[in-house]
């Protein structure tokens, strides 16, 4: 890949050009957007959060609509379960947190 700003070549995927600092990732966020279960915004399984992220809507609004549909004939519940099964999990966030902050400090017992 090449830096769009200064033309420097990179053999591996980088997010920012080391030379000029330009953003290397294309504005393709919308293109590879996937409907996934939301890890960030979940009440039950993250289905509503996932839909909200995909449709760029307020997750609360999606949740309200979904609950409303669940009351009208109850197919919202079935749709939720189906979506839960079918939708893959979204990308992992906050994975680094587990390893970064391990409380290792022990009270000194010398003497
Ligand atoms: Zn550059």
**pLDDT averaged over every residue in the chain:** 78
**13: CA distance to ligand 1 center in Å?**
13
Tens of pLDDT, residues 46-95: 888 888 888 888 999 988 888 888 888 788 888 888 988 988 888 776 65
In a shared domain, residues 37 and 83? yes
Look at residue 110 and tell me if it is in a domain: no
Q: What is the pLDDT of residue 111?
A: 66
Q: Which pTM was predicted? A: 0.50
**14: CA distance to ligand 1 center in Å?**
11
pLDDT of 96 > 50? The answer is no
Domain that holds residue 73: 33-91
**15: CA distance to ligand 1 center in Å?**
11
**30: CA distance to ligand 1 center in Å?**
23
Look at residue 108 and tell me if it is in a domain: no
Three-state SS sequence of 30-82 = CCCCCCCECCCCCCCCCHHHHHHHHHCCCHHHHHHHHHHHHHCCCHHHHHHHH
Look at residue 109 and tell me if it is in a domain: no
In a shared domain, residues 22 and 50? no
Which of 23-32, 39-48, 87-96 shows the lowest per-residue confidence on average (mean pLDDT)?
23-32
The three-class DSSP label of residue 9 is: strand
Span 14-35, average pLDDT? 75
In a shared domain, residues 10 and 60? no
Look at residue 111 and tell me if it is in a domain: no
Residue with more model confidence, 17 or 101: 17
pLDDT of 26 > 80? The answer is no
């Amino acid at each position: 890949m090449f830096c769009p700003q200064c033309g420097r070549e990179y053999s591996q995927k980088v997010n920012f050009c080391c030379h000029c600092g330009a953003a290397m990732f294309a504005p393709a966020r919308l293109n590879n957007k996937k409907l996934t279960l939301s890890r960030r915004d979940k009440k039950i399984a993250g289905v509503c959060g996932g839909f909200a992220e995909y449709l760029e809507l307020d997750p609360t609004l999606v949740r309200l609509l979904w609950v409303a549909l669940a009351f009208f004939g109850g197919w919202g519940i079935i749709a939720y379960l189906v979506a839960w099964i079918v939708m893959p999990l979204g990308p992992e966030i906050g994975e680094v947190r587990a390893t970064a902050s391990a409380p290792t400090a022990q009270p000194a017992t010398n003497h």
